[in-house]
Amino acid sequence: MSHHFIKFTDVTYRYPDGTEALKGVSLTITHGERVALLGLNGSGKSTLILHTNGLLLPTSGEVNIGGIPVTKKTAPEVRRAVGMVFQNPDDMLFMPTIYDDVAFGPRNMHLPEDEVRHRVDDALNAVGLHDVADKAAFQLSGGQRRSAAIASVLSMGPDILVLDEPSANLDICARNNLINLLDSFRHTILLVTHDLDMARQLCPRSIIMHEGRVCADGLTQTLLSDTDIMRDAGFM
Amino acid sequence: MASIEQRYISLSARKVNSAQGKEQAMLIVTLLYLVAVLSVPLYSPQKLIWLAAYPIIASEMEGCGFRRIFLKSLLIIPLVALIGIFNPFIDTETAFRIGNVAVNRGWVSFISILLRGLLSLQAILILVESSGIIDTINALRKLGCPSVLTTQLHLTCRYISVVMEEVIVMKRARAARGYGRKSYPLSMWGRFIGQLLIRSMQRATDIHRAMLARGFDGSLPLGTTMRWNSSAWIWLIVWTALIACLRFIDFSSLVVQFLHK
């Protein structure tokens, strides 16, 4: 499993309207690391993570996941390894029931229905939603919807988990449950968040982005207590 | 505001359904019924009246309520009327007389078209209301309908929900700053619809990305196998037999013969 790393080499991305969201980003995340990606709104965090499973492809530079360069051709293979939890759980829950939503990924992997059922049960148990498997997403609370979105990714058995602001709009109880859940995930985690306490609790390493560039990379405790770095990144 | 939110909730609620063979049985019966209705000769509307038994009985059996189904089906009248409105003026040959009044074949065919439209829509409404649109689409797929078509239908349903969610958000935002204002100029509605389109497109893009991230390759995976239980088989066999009887036995002539005796 040690080959499940994320490597960005001088990645630049320009949106069709000309906005340059990433400006020569280079970073490496090794297997089993938990890394928080921090930065102000518009600093390029979400654009960066969309590159990790080929939803966006770099304008220049290279993204490599576990030894596979991310291209249009390799994207389906990469998406099996990289599970992405989006910022808005409602974007991920669109099937008639939570069970079908969590089964969406495994069924796309063309697994036998017994294996799909097994994976869905495991994922729903992991997030504590087994009792609501037959409900529709709109019948769940915000925290439950977030958990269901995570379960829909866990059921695919990803080696790398990428989460975009998972604690947004969660109450303290749901947030703590989420931290415990993520803490139990043993593979690589890349966590985009504005929740600095969550970053401290979960991620030994942090990468801080500012205006499309990596402006700091190091131990979370060190970075968050360094006023110069925090000022440069616009946090102060 | 409450109205659209209630509609959204009821739309979402109808999506939740247990995947049973009953949906497939209902779909097959509905397709048979549509064939039966559309195969009745254009100038024999009296045969269609007997076929009205299916929507009346089935809607009550499925708990949809025939009155509600009937009222909803009236929405199709302008469309079918447009199709047949010129028949009375084109096909002027006399079909029969009521006293001294001659009724031409155009009027007969016009009535026939109206009845076909109403009965067909009623059957489809019963299917969708009782099975739910998603399970109906799944049943279509299981019966061999191409996945490109069923996926389009599925995503269209999802897009309707997305648009409704955005309408609710935008209506709330406007009401919060409208200070009780009730009417707005036409130009504002133009901007509202433009914004709605852009916002819903953005949401649709986000949803598509989330689907791609979980291996979506253009075809929605089928759910669990639909199990045909006894009620599904009974529904299929009984209604197939009844629809065949209603279509092929001329009950109108039998009634007339009975009355003459």
The domain limits of chain A are 6-232
CB-based burial label for B60 (10 Å; 0-12, 13-18, 19+): middle
Question: In this structure, are B259 and B212 located in the same domain?
Answer: no
User: Using the beta-carbon criterion (under 8 Å), do B223 and A90 form an inter-chain contact?
Assistant: no
- Collapsed DSSP state (helix, strand, coil) of residue A67: coil
- Fold that domain A6-232 belongs to in CATH: Rossmann fold (3.40.50)
Looking at residue B253, what is its pLDDT? 82
Question: In this structure, are B127 and B158 located in the same domain?
Answer: no
Question: In this structure, are B38 and B67 located in the same domain?
Answer: yes
Across chain A, mean pLDDT equals: 90
Residues of chain A contacting residue B203, judged by C-beta atoms under 8 Å apart: 91
- Let me know: does A9 contact A62? Beta carbons within 8 Å: yes
* Predicted confidence band of residue A1 (pLDDT cuts 50, 70, 90): very low
Give the span between the Cα atoms of A49 and A165, in whole angstroms: 11
- Is B140 part of a structural domain of the chain? no
Q: Could you tell me the residue range of the domain that residue B102 belongs to?
A: 20-131+229-261
- Is B7 part of a structural domain of the chain? yes
Residues of chain A contacting residue B134, judged by C-beta atoms under 8 Å apart: 95-96
Closest of B114, B94, B123, B112 to residue B33, by C-alpha? B123
* Predicted confidence band of residue A2 (pLDDT cuts 50, 70, 90): very low
Question: In this structure, are B222 and B248 located in the same domain?
Answer: no
User: Using the beta-carbon criterion (under 8 Å), do B16 and A96 form an inter-chain contact?
Assistant: yes
Looking at residue B15, what is its pLDDT? 46
Give the span between the Cα atoms of B245 and B240, in whole angstroms: 9
Helices first, then strands: H and E counts in chain B: 13, 2
Question: In this structure, are B91 and B214 located in the same domain?
Answer: no
Nearest CA in chain A to B16: A96
Looking at residue B30, what is its pLDDT? 95
User: Using the beta-carbon criterion (under 8 Å), do A88 and B223 form an inter-chain contact?
Assistant: no
- Collapsed DSSP state (helix, strand, coil) of residue A62: strand
User: Using the beta-carbon criterion (under 8 Å), do A96 and B203 form an inter-chain contact?
Assistant: no
- Is B139 part of a structural domain of the chain? no
Looking at residue A231, what is its pLDDT? 87
| E strand or H helix at A9 | strand A6-14
CA distance B202 to chain A (A): 11
Question: In this structure, are B50 and B105 located in the same domain?
Answer: yes
Phi, psi of A37 (to 5 degrees): -105, 110
Looking at residue B10, what is its pLDDT? 59
* Residue ranges for chain B with pLDDT beneath 70: 1-20, 223-226
Question: In this structure, are B179 and B207 located in the same domain?
Answer: yes
Question: In this structure, are B114 and B233 located in the same domain?
Answer: yes
Residues of chain B contacting residue A102, judged by C-beta atoms under 8 Å apart: none
Looking at residue A40, what is its pLDDT? 92
- Collapsed DSSP state (helix, strand, coil) of residue A177: helix
The residue of B12, B214, B225 whose CB has the most chain A CBs within 10 angstroms, and thus the best one to mutate to test that interface, is: B214
The tally of domains found in chain B comes to: 2
Give the span between the Cα atoms of B21 and B228, in whole angstroms: 4
User: A213: which strand partners?
Assistant: A210
Pairing outcome for strands A60-65 and A68-69: antiparallel
Question: In this structure, are B155 and B122 located in the same domain?
Answer: no
- Is B136 part of a structural domain of the chain? no
- Look up the ipTM and state it: 0.84
* Predicted confidence band of residue A102 (pLDDT cuts 50, 70, 90): very high
Question: In this structure, are B42 and B116 located in the same domain?
Answer: yes
pLDDT above 90 covers what percent of chain A?
61
Question: In this structure, are B49 and B37 located in the same domain?
Answer: yes
